[in-house]
Amino acid sequence: MDKIVKLDTVSHYNKMRGVETFHPLITVIDLSQAQPMPAQTFHFGLYAVFLKELKCGELKYGRCNYDFEEGTLVFIAPGQVMSVQPSVKTFEPKGWAILFHPDLIKGTALGKCIHDYSFFSYNVNEALHLSERERKIVLDCFSNIQYEMERDIDKHSRKLIASNIELFLNYCTRFYDRQFITRDNSNKGILERFEKLLKDYFVSEKPQNIGLPSVGYCAEILNLSPNYFGDLIKKETGISAQEFIQNKVIDEAKERIFNMDKSISQIAYGLGFKYPQHFSRLFKQKVGISPLEYRSMNHN
């Protein structure tokens, strides 16, 4: 197994790419002017965004491989591991990269909401594909960040840099919304497959063996990262994947409650609840009455 190289500082990354460090907590790099990334596995302690403008090899991220296309944005968060596997021994990289240390945004508005940008936890095969116009907007954002980064640091620097990063990430949120809508081929049928997965789940032994189906479990079965899957479902249905699962659990519970041979506790255990009181609490929250009350109201 390859040794994992930790990338915890901006200066370490800049040194590896052969570029100057202008700011200790952030770097913006024109990849055509930088040394290629070595074939290595890296553990990131930084936030990183890469804009690739040609195919330059394969990245392995978790269990997924992804061949870059032109105009693709990939996001990496601290704590994530990525393996770089160039397709040829030498190649001329093109594109841009921005990396920043978490300390840069501490105490800023961006620091308080950075975890809302769920695409930092998408798999690489769920990367953002940009149109030409979107690519120009991204490059403008990078240019503004680079301008502030290369100025002498003053009392305004951190706030302005963080604000420009936040603007860039807000654009990316908009672009992902567009991608969810336009990538019909890759996203088509996810909701139908999700519904079938849940239907099959409750007629199997899995509730007794595994428990209630989680968002993570469903995403894994559908070969998606939990965040990407959750965002897709929210765009399709207007509710979270967790709420969608809960609604299906309650629908299934309503059917089973009519079986008078089963106690409410037995029904709860059969659905995958560890404790019957948790089932009763969720049922009352969703339906407005307890399972027992629902049974008595609908029992002839």
Instruction: Output the DSSP codes for 35-90.
Output: PPPPSEEEEESSEEEEEE-S---EEEETTEEEE--TTEEEEE-TT-EEEEE-SSSS
User: 3-class SS at 289?
Assistant: coil
Question: For residue 198, what are the contacts with CB-CB under 8 A and spacing of at least 6?
Answer: 213, 218, 245, 248
Domains of the chain: 4-182 (2.60.120.280), 187-298 (1.10.10.60)
**Gap between the Cα atoms of 197 and 71, Å rounded:** 34
Residue 144 reports pLDDT greater than 80: yes
C-beta neighbour count of 102 within 10 angstroms: 14
Output the pLDDT for position 271. 96
In the structure encoding, which two tokens stand for residue 102, read together? Answer: 């978490």
Strand partners, 100: 26, 47
Residue 298 reports pLDDT greater than 90: no
Output the pLDDT for position 243. 96
Model confidence pLDDT, tens digit, residues 192-204: 899 999 999 999 9
Residue 64 reports pLDDT greater than 90: no
H runs (alpha helix) in 50-189: 109-113, 132-150, 157-182, 184-187
Residue 6 reports pLDDT greater than 50: yes
Per the prediction, the chain carries an average pLDDT of 88
pLDDT over 90, % of the chain: 70
The pTM for the full model equals: 0.80
Range with lowest mean pLDDT among 11-25, 57-71, 74-88, 191-205: 57-71
Residue 92 reports pLDDT greater than 60: no
The DSSP string of 230-249 is HHHHHHHHSS-HHHHHHHHH
Output the pLDDT for position 62. 42
Output the pLDDT for position 183. 67
Output the pLDDT for position 87. 53
The DSSP string of 11-29 is HHHHHHHT---SBTTEEEE
Residue 90 reports pLDDT greater than 80: no
